[in-house]
Structure 1
Amino acid sequence: MTSAGFRFYVCAAGISLALANAAASQSGPVRIWKIGSPHRGDTPAPSIPPQVAREFDSRRLIPEVQSFPAREFFPNLKKAVDSGSPPDVLVIDNYGLIRGITTRLGRFPGIAQDQTIGKQLLGVKGSFDELLGSGGGWTYLLSGSKNYNVAREAALRAPDCGGRPAVQPTREFASVVAAAATAYMRGDAAVLDRLADPERMAALHPAREPAQTRDLRICGVWGHTRLTIVSMEVSFEADSSIGHSPVLLVFRKPASQWQLLVASLDPISNREFVKTFLTLRRLIEGDAPGTTVMPVVLRAPADGLEPTPVGGTAFGDFEWDAPQSDGVLDIAEFAYLNDARLFVVPRRPKGVSGVSSGRLWHTRSEWKWRIWSLTRDGELVFSETRTFTH
């Protein structure tokens, strides 16, 4: 980080937080079941993507793939579990097959509704996503399978940053990042309270299942002496799920200590926001004198309300006045529960900017929103905060 001008650097440094368990021994092939859609009635191809095949080969694991249409899934799984030979990994197209679903093809029982099967299910997030089709889906382990421990270790392998160049952050800053990420995943209110920026808008207390961080990798750090954005990948263990997750952290340094402004598992914050920020950061790079900036003025909706749909559309816009200005970048923050969805919003020539309510997902909870205005010298000002239920 530099003392003058907004500079950026990338880091891909791995930090091991716990020793991996001793490698479990494989008993026969790792059995993977791929299940088709209850809407289409298809049978997936019993194939393994090259990336997954390489990962299995590096661990000296032998995969065996079987495919079933959705109609045949429950009876075959029930039979396998009752006989003591369930598959190790389930790759499921539609969550309705877990809880039960009715489609034009009929009624499909949910496997979690069977007590014997349900108590064996362990969700896997992120680690086996390459096994899913382009439409996404869900992956699970079954704790009663012969190679459960082997599959579990594969799901908890060290997270990967996708081959980005490695630049080591300072030891002091890396320790702050690790403390914030592990506390956020664990829901450790005491640590989060200690690290929190007074301007942090999301709730500090957990609204989801606590998880232990097994390993973390700092994949990107972009910042200034007063503001830093950190992109990470972590491997985690919780009671109902294990796997990998992206984590976005935003730190501010108003005085001598880094303080946590945002922590997020939100998919848009961790993917689209980071990508857009890297594309538009040129607007606030360089050594030119910083711009004096005033907080933007929120236009609509009023506090406590959602945007009104306009022109027959299903969604309305959150709008604010933002006069065009060189060297200023606006970030819209929508905080919900213990998370936040961030958007980079370039200023428009007419001076009115906005984000569609269609970019948010429904949580049936209170949300808060505001706009950050960031200058090239790291000055950050906030608009007023408004609330709505979504």
Structure 2
Amino acid sequence: MVFLGYPLVLYICSLVKKKHFHIAGNQIPWSVSVIVVFRNAESLIEKKIQNFLTFDYPKEKMELILVSDGSSDHSLDVMQPYLSPFIRLFHSSDHKGKAYGLNLGVEKSKGDILVFCDADSILEQGTVKILLKYFSDPAIGGVCGQRMITEEVSHIKSGQKKYIAWDSLIKSLEVKCGLSITSHDGKLYAIRKQLFQPVPDGVTDDAYISLSVIGQNFRFVFDPEAKAVIKTPSRNERHELKRRARIVSRSLNGLKMNKKLLNPLEFGFFAMGLFINKVLRRVVPISLGLIFLASWILSRDNYFLGTISFWLQVTGYSISLLYPVFCMQWFSKNAPGQYITKISSVGFFFCLGMIGTLFGIILFLSGAKITKWDPEKG
């Protein structure tokens, strides 16, 4: 139900219930504040500013708010030549965390619409206009775009791209069904400034902001044509485990603060989708562990189905965890090896995600709050 059932239900619903937008032909000339919180982004920030300067939108209607979260490299020096009334910098000498930076950036912003993106996300031409067109519909409070991985730096890139494609499919189906999306992408999203609620420490900021918009009875939608080009989110296996644990722990904290959204009497089918995507998906590693243990016990007692199930799981996990071996040239240079490698890449990334999710659940249940960290963008 978690991975296949929910998308299938959404697909069936999308055939009979189409999305309802009331987008005006002539767009309102919104004033826009693009907010970027960064830490030690010396290698990224100049390219980010140059990307902002190429946006196809009236310059007098835009501003770029840069918030440095205790940067100790040369980021501030790099951006000095670009500062102007439309490109403003706010710097905290202490490392206070992204939530503080976002709240400060919004406080200093002047735009009607807030566009949030990361220092490493480069927006394609026309993206801002695509985001803004949705705000002509008074029922829509926010919209997020599509992340696009183009960099070849990690052998787990394939699994990450497939996960993003699957998650984007779910978001697209939710929008087609007239629902708000239940998962959000912090690399690129926009909201009405009037709906912004300060981000507390210890939550996933994009999910919290998005849920708070929905909690105010506005829709939050998704458009895959609004694209942000990024580097591979996880640089290696260690990075993926840390990243996944942090995201799961912080997103559960944010969901706890917005638990009213899980009430189907008030939020209907969205509440059920949110429960499936943000709660049931989190307990999958526990369920898989229990299934593996039960199969092992049954196989020891010579139950046929238990034995079959146990060895199928052993085979599947073995193929998945041997992915680093399958990546070696001597194995993947022939057609059968390439096929096995592709299957193994998905399984390997899935296993990493499950282990990281388990760590995140443990962090959440322990009451630990991850409020700040040093991004790995290199």
- Structure with bigger gyration radius: 1
Give the alignment's TM-score, normalised by structure 1.
Answer: 0.28
Q: Per residue, is there more helix in 1 or in 2? A: 2
Q: Per residue, is there more strand in 1 or in 2? A: 1
